[in-house]
Structure 1
């Protein structure tokens, strides 16, 4: 078993006595480990660094992506919810397969375990981790942006008893905003994904307490309105990028939110 903390401390230098394929297999297993200290610790940092640096060969990265895509059907929630993080690393590094998008699209709206954090398993964060990958795919030139916008709407409309409690609404809103910076989006496509949400709001008979999925959706869209107004920062302190068709998006968001406020 590799001492990944030592590898991390050595600036992620590749251990001289190990074959890279074996190391990647070990890292892949670690990113699905039920122990959060393993899954979300040094192995995560090392894998992210090796992918970003191109330390892992391109062919092996594609195999790793296939492993992560298959992991969306794993019976263990911690395996499913860390798969999008690894795929997002790969996509950001320039790797891509259409099948990864298909697998993600099948998983994201049907995942039922939406806990942000569990005392035993640590971070799970299905919505937030999925949102990161949604942005990665949504900004990729080989993925139609409207496909990811529709997927975000589907995730928001699925009934659940879980109220987002670890800033999942923030992560999802920012990811949607990033997709909406695509300059190849038509004005109609930039707002059409909101139609089923507005229809759901218009048909909703709100009682107290407010149903969890409606609360999640409302808070996500309210933040998205702010991002449409101010722009979204892809990372760090980079200048905010404006949303394409900003005014149309703001108008459509306001109209959708107003459907529920009037009741």
Structure 2
């Protein structure tokens, strides 16, 4: 089956899959072999959804099976092991499901709300924050979890309250940070904020409150623990997240400019 699917990689879109091929892809969603997991399974799943390679029945079957398995939470026990690949690549598949459903609905209402709820929960309970794992490839829990939550934040069925929860999740991830991010996690977290701001269901003023309140929390943490590296990593990541949004969302610049400027002043780069 592996060789059979590899042949599809070089074929033009739209691809066509048998039901057995779909099942094999789902069975290997978290394969510890990066060649299979990244380059074969995820690539084909992404292409299958984005170019309508899967039939409507296959899309629904993939959604049903993925939701029933709940592999987004497989092996969450506080230890770093290969289960992280199953979780994080299930997160990527969940993002694909929500993104596809946003434009061409096929999920049931229960599935949609389940994945939105899971997206809000996952980033707060994932404990394996490794980015690239030597030999085995990308785990990228924070990045992939951010992709899932960003897709949820962009979905038309997410509620105003849930959009506020998404902003709270971003703030909570930064509050939990103990080591510097190494693999552009801040940029992926920033996409959650961007998608919330673009969703017409978000509450007026919620984005500005998020920036101002989170900024106060991060600087209070840093001021109270000036010699704590973890506090520095948190405020530094906050700065990078804001800088990302400054360039990606011009409408946010009036709010972000004084906050970013304050960072450089407090760190002694500006008078």
Same fold (TM over 0.5): yes
Residue 164 of structure 1 deviates from its aligned partner by 0.9
| Unaligned runs of at least 5 residues, structure 2 | 76-82
Name 1:218's counterpart in structure 2.
235
Q: Does 1:172 align with 2:189?
A: yes
Name 2:67's counterpart in structure 1.
66
Q: 1:102 aligns with which of 117, 129, 144?
A: 117
Secondary structure of the corresponding residue to residue 164 of structure 1: coil
> Using the alignment, how far apart are the partners of 1:256 and 1:198 within structure 2?
11
Q: 2:151 aligns with which of 122, 136, 145?
A: 136
> Using the alignment, how far apart are the partners of 2:115 and 2:184 within structure 1?
26
Provide Cα deviations, 1:17-64, integer angstroms capped at 9, x if missing partner: xx42x2222111222111111111122211111111233224224214
Q: Counterparts in 2 of 1:53-202, with a 5 A limit? A: 53-56=51-54, 57=56, 58-67=59-68, 70-75=70-75, 76-94=83-101, 95=105, 96=107, 97-143=112-158, 144=160, 145-160=163-178, 162-194=179-211, 195=213, 198-202=216-220
Query: Given that residues 113 and 126 in structure 1 are in contact (C-alpha distance below 8 angstroms), is that contact kept between their aligned partners in structure 2?
Result: yes
> Using the alignment, how far apart are the partners of 1:181 and 1:26 within structure 2?
36
Secondary structure of the corresponding residue to residue 229 of structure 2: coil
Change (3 A) 1:100 1:186: closer
Number of residues of Structure 1 aligned to a counterpart in Structure 2: 243
Secondary structure of the corresponding residue to residue 11 of structure 1: coil
Q: Does 1:31 align with 2:29?
A: yes
Secondary structure of the corresponding residue to residue 216 of structure 2: helix
Secondary structure of the corresponding residue to residue 198 of structure 2: coil
Question: When the two structures are superposed, what TM-score results if normalisation uses the length of structure 1?
Answer: 0.79
Query: Given that residues 190 and 241 in structure 2 are in contact (C-alpha distance below 8 angstroms), is that contact kept between their aligned partners in structure 1?
Result: yes
Question: When the two structures are superposed, what TM-score results if normalisation uses the length of structure 2?
Answer: 0.77
Query: Given that residues 139 and 178 in structure 1 are in contact (C-alpha distance below 8 angstroms), is that contact kept between their aligned partners in structure 2?
Result: yes
Q: State the superposition RMSD in angstroms.
A: 2.9
Secondary structure of the corresponding residue to residue 223 of structure 1: helix
Name 2:225's counterpart in structure 1.
206
> Using the alignment, how far apart are the partners of 2:175 and 2:235 within structure 1?
11
> Using the alignment, how far apart are the partners of 2:125 and 2:215 within structure 1?
17
> Using the alignment, how far apart are the partners of 1:159 and 1:228 within structure 2?
20
> Using the alignment, how far apart are the partners of 2:117 and 2:195 within structure 1?
20
Moved over 6 A (4+): none
Residue 73 of structure 1 deviates from its aligned partner by 1.4
**Higher helix content, 1 or 2:** 2
Change (3 A) 1:89 1:122: same
Change (3 A) 1:32 1:2: same
User: Comparing 139-148 with 182-191, which one deviates more in the overlay?
Assistant: 182-191
Residue 258 of structure 1 deviates from its aligned partner by 8.6
